Chain A
Protein backbone atom coordinates (compact mmCIF):
# COMPACT_ATOMS: atom_id res chain seq x y z
CA UNK A 1 0.00 0.00 0.00
CA UNK A 2 1.22 3.52 -0.78
CA UNK A 3 0.21 6.93 0.45
CA UNK A 4 1.31 10.54 0.18
CA UNK A 5 0.90 11.01 3.92
CA UNK A 6 2.69 8.48 6.16
CA UNK A 7 -0.06 8.85 8.75
CA UNK A 8 -2.48 7.22 6.32
CA UNK A 9 -0.22 4.18 6.17
CA UNK A 10 0.10 4.06 9.93
CA UNK A 11 -3.67 4.31 10.29
CA UNK A 12 -4.20 1.57 7.68
CA UNK A 13 -2.02 -1.01 9.44
CA UNK A 14 -0.96 -0.18 12.97
CA UNK A 15 -2.85 -1.70 15.92
CA UNK A 16 -4.96 -3.90 13.65
CA UNK A 17 -5.54 -7.59 14.19
CA UNK A 18 -3.44 -10.01 12.13
CA UNK A 19 -5.12 -12.97 10.43
CA UNK A 20 -3.03 -15.66 8.75
CA UNK A 21 -3.75 -17.51 5.53
CA UNK A 22 -6.20 -19.81 7.35
CA UNK A 23 -8.06 -16.88 8.94
CA UNK A 24 -6.60 -17.57 12.41
CA UNK A 25 -5.79 -14.68 14.73
CA UNK A 26 -2.00 -14.50 15.09
CA UNK A 27 -1.17 -11.17 16.72
CA UNK A 28 -1.53 -7.42 16.36
CA UNK A 29 0.43 -5.04 14.16
CA UNK A 30 2.55 -3.29 16.77
CA UNK A 31 4.35 -0.99 14.34
CA UNK A 32 5.25 -0.64 10.66
CA UNK A 33 8.31 0.10 8.60
CA UNK A 34 7.90 2.63 5.82
CA UNK A 35 10.09 3.98 3.06
CA UNK A 36 9.69 7.10 0.98
CA UNK A 37 10.03 6.35 -2.71
CA UNK A 38 9.86 8.33 -5.88
CA UNK A 39 7.83 11.54 -5.91
CA UNK A 40 7.73 11.49 -2.10
CA UNK A 41 5.22 8.63 -1.94
CA UNK A 42 5.42 6.50 1.19
CA UNK A 43 5.23 2.75 1.02
CA UNK A 44 4.79 0.17 3.77
CA UNK A 45 7.79 -2.16 3.64
CA UNK A 46 7.20 -4.36 6.68
CA UNK A 47 4.95 -5.01 9.67
CA UNK A 48 6.53 -5.33 13.11
CA UNK A 49 4.95 -7.62 15.68
CA UNK A 50 5.96 -8.36 19.23
CA UNK A 51 6.95 -6.95 22.62
CA UNK A 52 10.29 -5.72 21.24
CA UNK A 53 8.36 -2.87 19.64
CA UNK A 54 6.28 -1.85 22.63
CA UNK A 55 8.92 0.29 24.35
CA UNK A 56 8.75 2.87 21.57
CA UNK A 57 4.94 2.95 21.71
CA UNK A 58 4.32 3.39 25.41
CA UNK A 59 6.04 4.71 28.55
CA UNK A 60 8.61 2.36 30.09
CA UNK A 61 6.74 2.09 33.39
CA UNK A 62 3.73 0.65 31.53
CA UNK A 63 5.58 -1.75 29.23
CA UNK A 64 7.83 -2.98 32.05
CA UNK A 65 4.73 -4.82 33.32
CA UNK A 66 4.68 -6.92 30.16
CA UNK A 67 6.98 -9.87 29.43
CA UNK A 68 9.02 -10.55 26.25
CA UNK A 69 11.50 -8.74 23.99
CA UNK A 70 11.17 -10.35 20.56
CA UNK A 71 10.08 -8.66 17.36
CA UNK A 72 8.84 -10.50 14.28
CA UNK A 73 9.27 -8.68 10.98
CA UNK A 74 6.72 -9.46 8.26
CA UNK A 75 7.75 -8.35 4.82
CA UNK A 76 5.20 -6.36 2.81
CA UNK A 77 5.19 -9.12 0.22
CA UNK A 78 3.57 -11.43 2.81
CA UNK A 79 0.67 -9.02 3.38
CA UNK A 80 -2.43 -9.91 1.35
CA UNK A 81 -4.78 -7.09 2.27
CA UNK A 82 -5.83 -4.64 4.94
CA UNK A 83 -9.21 -3.41 6.08
CA UNK A 84 -10.58 -3.82 9.57
CA UNK A 85 -7.87 -6.52 10.00
CA UNK A 86 -4.61 -7.29 8.16
CA UNK A 87 -4.63 -10.55 6.23
CA UNK A 88 -1.40 -12.42 5.52
CA UNK A 89 -0.36 -14.66 2.64
CA UNK A 90 1.18 -17.36 4.83
CA UNK A 91 0.35 -19.37 7.93
CA UNK A 92 1.33 -17.93 11.31
CA UNK A 93 3.96 -20.59 12.06
CA UNK A 94 5.67 -19.97 8.68
CA UNK A 95 6.15 -16.34 9.71
CA UNK A 96 7.19 -17.05 13.29
CA UNK A 97 4.02 -15.56 14.77
CA UNK A 98 2.06 -16.71 17.81
CA UNK A 99 4.85 -19.04 18.91
CA UNK A 100 3.70 -19.36 22.51
CA UNK A 101 0.18 -20.12 21.39
CA UNK A 102 1.33 -22.81 18.93
CA UNK A 103 3.50 -24.42 21.58
CA UNK A 104 0.49 -24.60 23.89
CA UNK A 105 -1.74 -25.89 21.11
CA UNK A 106 0.72 -28.70 20.35
CA UNK A 107 0.82 -29.54 24.05
CA UNK A 108 -2.88 -29.33 24.93
CA UNK A 109 -4.98 -29.26 21.78
CA UNK A 110 -5.22 -29.29 18.03
CA UNK A 111 -4.50 -26.49 15.59
Chain B
Protein backbone atom coordinates (compact mmCIF):
# COMPACT_ATOMS: atom_id res chain seq x y z
CA UNK B 1 0.00 0.00 0.00
CA UNK B 2 2.82 2.38 1.00
CA UNK B 3 4.73 1.59 -2.19
CA UNK B 4 1.66 2.47 -4.30
CA UNK B 5 1.23 5.81 -2.54
CA UNK B 6 4.86 6.82 -2.93
CA UNK B 7 4.65 8.20 -6.50
CA UNK B 8 1.57 10.26 -5.54
CA UNK B 9 3.29 11.59 -2.45
CA UNK B 10 6.30 12.61 -4.53
CA UNK B 11 4.07 14.35 -7.06
CA UNK B 12 2.24 16.24 -4.29
CA UNK B 13 5.57 17.33 -2.84
CA UNK B 14 6.69 18.60 -6.24
CA UNK B 15 3.38 20.43 -6.82
CA UNK B 16 3.70 22.21 -3.49
CA UNK B 17 7.14 23.47 -4.51
CA UNK B 18 5.40 26.30 -6.36
CA UNK B 19 5.13 28.80 -3.50
CA UNK B 20 3.52 32.22 -3.54
CA UNK B 21 6.96 33.78 -4.15
CA UNK B 22 7.40 31.47 -7.16
CA UNK B 23 4.00 32.46 -8.58
CA UNK B 24 4.87 36.13 -8.16
CA UNK B 25 8.29 35.56 -9.74
CA UNK B 26 6.62 33.81 -12.68
CA UNK B 27 4.18 36.72 -13.01
CA UNK B 28 6.84 39.43 -12.94
CA UNK B 29 9.08 37.57 -15.43
CA UNK B 30 6.09 37.13 -17.73
CA UNK B 31 5.11 40.78 -17.33
CA UNK B 32 8.64 42.03 -18.11
CA UNK B 33 8.83 39.88 -21.21
CA UNK B 34 5.36 40.87 -22.46
CA UNK B 35 6.17 44.57 -21.90
CA UNK B 36 9.47 44.14 -23.79
CA UNK B 37 7.64 42.36 -26.62
CA UNK B 38 5.09 45.15 -26.73
CA UNK B 39 7.91 47.74 -26.81
CA UNK B 40 9.47 45.97 -29.79
CA UNK B 41 6.15 46.01 -31.63
CA UNK B 42 5.74 49.75 -30.91
CA UNK B 43 9.29 50.39 -32.20
CA UNK B 44 8.52 48.57 -35.43
CA UNK B 45 5.17 50.40 -35.74
CA UNK B 46 6.81 53.80 -35.23
CA UNK B 47 9.36 52.98 -37.94
CA UNK B 48 6.55 51.93 -40.35
CA UNK B 49 7.86 48.36 -40.41
CA UNK B 50 4.74 46.52 -39.17
CA UNK B 51 1.19 46.22 -40.46
CA UNK B 52 -1.42 48.21 -38.51
CA UNK B 53 -3.65 45.13 -38.03
CA UNK B 54 -0.76 43.17 -36.58
CA UNK B 55 0.24 46.05 -34.29
CA UNK B 56 -3.32 46.62 -33.08
CA UNK B 57 -3.82 42.94 -32.27
CA UNK B 58 -0.47 42.62 -30.51
CA UNK B 59 -1.34 45.64 -28.29
CA UNK B 60 -4.60 43.98 -27.25
CA UNK B 61 -2.96 40.59 -26.69
CA UNK B 62 -0.24 42.21 -24.58
CA UNK B 63 -2.83 43.97 -22.44
CA UNK B 64 -4.68 40.65 -21.94
CA UNK B 65 -1.49 38.89 -20.86
CA UNK B 66 -0.60 41.74 -18.49
CA UNK B 67 -4.03 41.55 -16.88
CA UNK B 68 -3.21 38.01 -15.66
CA UNK B 69 0.19 39.14 -14.37
CA UNK B 70 -1.38 42.12 -12.59
CA UNK B 71 -3.79 39.81 -10.75
CA UNK B 72 -0.92 37.55 -9.61
CA UNK B 73 1.01 40.61 -8.38
CA UNK B 74 -1.83 41.98 -6.27
CA UNK B 75 0.46 41.60 -3.22
CA UNK B 76 3.02 43.87 -4.93
CA UNK B 77 1.05 47.15 -5.20
CA UNK B 78 3.76 49.17 -7.00
CA UNK B 79 4.19 46.55 -9.70
CA UNK B 80 0.43 46.06 -10.06
CA UNK B 81 -0.11 49.79 -10.33
CA UNK B 82 2.62 50.14 -12.98
CA UNK B 83 1.11 47.36 -15.07
CA UNK B 84 -2.38 48.81 -14.67
CA UNK B 85 -1.23 52.20 -15.94
CA UNK B 86 0.35 50.60 -19.03
CA UNK B 87 -2.88 48.77 -19.78
CA UNK B 88 -4.99 51.89 -19.37
CA UNK B 89 -2.94 54.11 -21.67
CA UNK B 90 -1.18 53.95 -25.02
CA UNK B 91 2.49 53.93 -24.02
CA UNK B 92 5.21 54.29 -26.59
CA UNK B 93 8.30 52.06 -26.90
CA UNK B 94 10.42 54.21 -24.57
CA UNK B 95 7.79 54.21 -21.79
CA UNK B 96 7.41 50.44 -22.12
CA UNK B 97 11.16 49.88 -21.87
CA UNK B 98 11.29 52.07 -18.76
CA UNK B 99 8.47 50.05 -17.22
CA UNK B 100 10.22 46.74 -17.97
CA UNK B 101 13.35 48.13 -16.31
CA UNK B 102 11.37 49.32 -13.29
CA UNK B 103 10.17 45.75 -12.64
CA UNK B 104 13.70 44.33 -12.67
CA UNK B 105 14.47 45.00 -8.96
CA UNK B 106 11.30 43.13 -7.96
CA UNK B 107 12.29 40.19 -10.15
CA UNK B 108 15.77 40.15 -8.60
CA UNK B 109 14.40 40.24 -5.05
CA UNK B 110 11.94 37.41 -5.74
CA UNK B 111 14.67 35.30 -7.32
CA UNK B 112 16.88 35.55 -4.26
CA UNK B 113 13.97 35.04 -1.82
Touch A–B, Cβ below 8 Å: no
